[in-house]
């Protein structure tokens, strides 16, 4: 606040000096005009000063004194409001600069937060992709394992069924062979043994049975 007041006072001094300079220029111009009128249509200010400088200097001094009095009155009664205006203006400028700086810092912090969130999101996406790949690989391995187990089971069942079929086929072949052998033996016996031989065989069998009893 003290800095604002100091700057406001300096600004007031600068404004006052500018006004004084402007009035001096106006006074000199007015004096030059009066000098021209007093010396004729084509007489210059320097000629008027060379001819009679005292009245012009008195007039200039009077104008400067009047201006100084007016400036003092102006500063006396309006200096504080003007000073306050410049102080308030400076304070508003400083406040605006501070607010702009704070807004910039807040924007930078927000940008940094979004950058961090974006980086975190990228990490989460990568982690999710890795987890999905791992789960997919595990599911693939599980399916392959189940398929292999199912194939082994089907193979075992097929082998068991094939073995049973082989056993049954062997039994059928054995039964068929026994039947054919029996038929062939009966045929051969019928063809090679006469009725007398058959009678003897019956008698011998009966004797063995009776003897056993």
Task: With a cut of 80, say whether residue 144 has pLDDT above it.
Answer: yes
Q: Is residue 213 in some structural domain?
A: no
What residue numbers bound the domain in which 77 lies? 2-102
Q: Is residue 33 in some structural domain?
A: yes
Q: Distance (Å, rounded) from C-alpha 185 to C-alpha 177?
A: 12
Do 87 and 8 meet the contact criterion of CB atoms below 8 Å apart? yes
Q: Provide mean pLDDT across the span 182-197.
A: 67
> What was the pLDDT predicted at 8?
46
Domain total for the chain? 1
Tell me the CB-side half-sphere exposure of residue 108, using CA atoms within 13 A: 6
Q: Is residue 96 in some structural domain?
A: yes
Do 67 and 22 meet the contact criterion of CB atoms below 8 Å apart? no
pLDDT band at 1 (very low <50, low <70, confident <90, very high): very low
Q: Is residue 85 in some structural domain?
A: yes
Q: Terminus-to-terminus CA distance in the chain, angstroms?
A: 150
Higher pLDDT, 77 or 116: 116
> What was the pLDDT predicted at 97?
92
> What was the pLDDT predicted at 171?
85
> What was the pLDDT predicted at 163?
87
Q: Is residue 140 in some structural domain?
A: no
Q: Is residue 173 in some structural domain?
A: no
Give the number of other CB atoms < 10 A from CB of residue 20.
14
Q: Is residue 30 in some structural domain?
A: yes
- Summarised one tens digit per residue, pLDDT across range 85-113 is 778 888 888 888 999 999 999 999 998 88
Most confidently predicted of 9-23, 124-138, 199-213: 124-138
Token readout for 2 is 């003290």
């Amino acid at each position: 606040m003290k800095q604002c007041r100091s700057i406001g006072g300096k600004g007031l001094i600068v404004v006052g000096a500018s006004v004084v300079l402007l009035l001096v220029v106006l006074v000199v111009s007015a004096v030059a005009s009066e000098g021209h009128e007093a010396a004729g249509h084509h007489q210059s200010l320097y000629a008027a000063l060379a001819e009679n400088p005292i009245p012009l200097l008195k007039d200039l001094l009077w104008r400067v004194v009047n201006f100084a009095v007016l400036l003092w009155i102006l500063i006396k009664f309006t200096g504080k409001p003007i000073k306050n205006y410049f102080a308030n203006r400076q304070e508003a400028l400083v406040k605006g600069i501070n607010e702009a700086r704070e807004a910039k810092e807040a924007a930078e912090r927000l940008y940094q937060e979004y950058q961090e969130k974006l980086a975190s999101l990228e990490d989460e996406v990568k982690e999710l992709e890795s987890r999905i790949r791992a789960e997919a690989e595990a599911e693939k391995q599980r399916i392959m394992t189940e398929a292999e187990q199912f194939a082994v089971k089907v193979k075992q069942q097929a082998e068991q069924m094939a073995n049973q079929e082989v056993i049954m086929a062997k039994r059928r072949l054995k039964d068929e062979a026994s039947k054919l052998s029996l038929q062939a033996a009966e045929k051969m016996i019928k063809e090679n043994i006469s009725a007398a031989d058959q009678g003897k065989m019956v008698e011998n069998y009966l004797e063995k049975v009776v003897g056993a009893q």
